[in-house]
Amino acid sequence: MTDRAPLSKGEMEVARVLWELGRATVRQVHEAFPPERAVDFSTVQTYLRRLDAKGYVRAWLEGRTRVYAPLVKPTTVIRETVDDLVDRLFGGRALPLVRHLIERHDIDEGDLAELRELLDRLEGQSDA
């Protein structure tokens, strides 16, 4: 409901790093960035500022250093982002996407087991 402005691609990358770190300064986020995806320190800074403005993170000063922490949970962002994608690209049907993910991405043994369990649970829940 909170009708946040959606995250852009770049903002997502930064948000993900912040979720991993839990709480971090600009520098920490910048350093945690995958080396092949190098961006400037101030670019990260800008993204964090924008994430703050959009309400995805909060920030405060600790001494003279600004510290950022996530405000919304990954699951929330996933929901909003993915649902939007599913709507636009598949008109709301999720299965084609699931199929793609399973077939193409490396879902390892453990993941397969987990999926299977999930299916079992769901089947139990349905009308039957």
Partner DNA sequence: ATCCTCGCCGTACATTTGTACGTGATTCGT
Partner DNA sequence: ACGAATCACGTACAAATGTACGGCGAGGAT
Does 79 engage in binding with its own copies (CB under 8 A)?
A: yes
117 binds its own copies (CB under 8 A): no
Contact indicator for 18, 33 with CB cutoff of 8 Å: no
* By CB under 8 A, residue 75 contacts its own copies: yes
CA-based R_g, the chain, Å: 18
**Residue 54 near its own copies by CB under 8 A:** no
Phi, psi of 43 (to 5 degrees): -65, -45
Compute the half-sphere exposure of residue 100: CA atoms within 13 Å on the CB side of its CA. 7
Which of 40, 60, 109, 124: binder of its own copies (CB under 8 A)?
109
- For DNA, the binding residues (CB under 7 A) are 5-6, 8-11, 25-27, 39-40, 42-43, 45-47, 50, 61, 63-66
By the rule CB under 8 A, 5 interacts with its own copies: no
CB 32 within 8 A of CB 17: yes
For residues 68 and 58, give the distance between their C-alpha atoms in angstroms, rounded to a whole number: 6
User: Does residue 107 bind its own copies (CB under 8 A)?
Assistant: yes
Q: CB nearer to its own copies: give 3 or 109.
A: 109
Residue 34, phi then psi, degrees to nearest 5: -55, 130
Judged by the rule CB under 8 A, the positions of this chain that interact with its own copies are 9, 12-13, 16, 74-75, 77-79, 81-86, 88-92, 94-107, 109, 111-112, 114-116, 118-119, 122-123, 126, 128
